[in-house]
Structure 1
């Protein structure tokens, strides 16, 4: 499979290595200083760039009729615009706030736990996410996905980085050197605490998941998530 890398920072380079190990070919390494020349040769494009470049990168791939995977966070105010654009182009698009296979299992566990805990009013939910100091957005896209999973399965209506009211989920976003990503969900009552936690040991899991998603989406049309890739939507 021929892959266009839209963004060639740390994640782009790890994705490149894993893709080559799995027998794929890189036909474009797009940076802020280079063009999209060659993207039309790709079977799939993978966008791990920065929030200010994501929309342009995704549209360029869709314009070239190349399915695109995006792991860039911090641009989701344009998500509906991109999905509409993809449908107009009859293309394929998959956004993931986190491509780790383990995190996507964690997402489903989080939703299931939220359904059970919604019956127990004595518990209050809160979250913590920790990332490296180079991460540009806070809270992380993964934390937002976790919060949205709780909201969809409970009486909570929003999340906040500030002090939360009874209808909000407080997210404590921390930035610490060399932490790839740690996410915790807490249910606290007066007598005990329930915690679920995912800890990434390196960025390898994110990169592998992105390549697996690329292999899956090739030749498909539509809007997808990692839940589709892992066949978790009906679990």
Structure 2
């Protein structure tokens, strides 16, 4: 989260107005099922399909840009793309730096994983840097260890570098299932955040309005819920 506040200074470098014919959408490409690189080497996932649908609803021509998580907000503010769709939860701290559309996922749950059901969730906890998960752990009294990606945070719990890892339950579920019993959930899922939304520069009210309207239309006609249940099959919260 500290990086998010520091990123505010980059806002002065942004052009301040959205005037491109093509809207550039940024994602991380490393957080399935929200966004990832598929076997064909292409960006894929819930947010890729949703972003394309939103652009169609809004009559926009859109392209995708892959960007590392820890610089995704600074590069938005610097004008290197126009919007972020990267599993980014809407938080008060982020809202001080950038703007958001309405949420396109309901508030979800997060969870701890480790190699033992008795692992200490108040010990050393691994989380991805500058996420609601790292912020939650920092406030919990546990010892936070941050990593550039969620995969690296989970790996830290696997190899003993951390007692547990903390991330979105939806992200962790297939990892635990594929671990052959090496990883297990610890405790009950924890609801945090206000849902995931599209992040934009504060100055781009016109683009925010177009995307907001498109999200609202997809909520109203049920097509957003269809995408949520397609990509998050285990009884996900819907609208």
- Which category of TM-score, normalised to the shorter sequence, fits these structures? 0.3 to 0.5
Q: TM-score, normalised by structure 2?
A: 0.33
Q: Which has the higher contact order (CA 8 A, sep 6+)?
A: 2
